[in-house]
Amino acid sequence: MSSRRSRGIPRITDEQIIELVSKLQQLLPELRNRRSNKASASKVLQETCNYVRSLHKEVDDLSDRLSRLLSTIDDDSPQASIIRSLIN
C-alpha cells in the first residue's frame, strides 16, 4: 500500500483518534449509557457492526410489513396527506 509521506502533513494525533472513536460511541445505544466513555476501539467497532446489522434487519422487517399493509389500501391519497401532515 503506498502512502504519501511528505514533510508538511500534520500527523493524526492520539487525541483525534480517541475523539473519533468516542463520537462513534455516542451513536451506539449499547455503549452510550455507560459512565466510562473509554470503551476500547475494538469494542466500539464490534458494537457498530452489530448496530448496523440490527438496523438493516429492522429495515427489512418494516419493508415486509409495509408491503403487506400497502396491498390492503385501495385509495391511498387521504392516508398520504395525513401522513405528510403528521410527519411535518
Partner 1 sequence: MSPSQQPTSTNPSSLKNQFAHRFIRALKTLNHTKTGAAHDHNQMYRRSIRVKIASYTAMASVVGSRRAWSRAVLWKIIKRSRNQGLLLRKRKRRNPNPKREDFNPFRNSGQELKLRKLVPGAETMDSWCLMGETADYIKCLVAQVEVMKTLVDLYSIT
User: Do 82 and 75 contact (CB within 8 A), yes or no?
Assistant: no
Which residues touch 27 (CB under 8 Å, ≥6 apart)? 51
Say whether residue 7 binds partner 1 (CB under 8 A): no
**Mask 33-72, x = binds partner 1 (CB under 8 A)?**
--------xx--xx-xx-xxx-xx-xxx-xxxxxxxxxx-
Best CA proximity match to 45, nearest among 63, 29, 24: 24
Residue 59: CB minimum distance to partner 1, A: 6
C-alpha 56/C-alpha 48 separation (Å) is 12
- Give residues in contact with partner 1 (CB under 8 A): 1, 3-5, 9-12, 17, 20-21, 23-24, 27, 41-42, 45-46, 48-49, 51-53, 55-56, 58-60, 62-71, 73, 76, 79-80, 82-84, 86-88
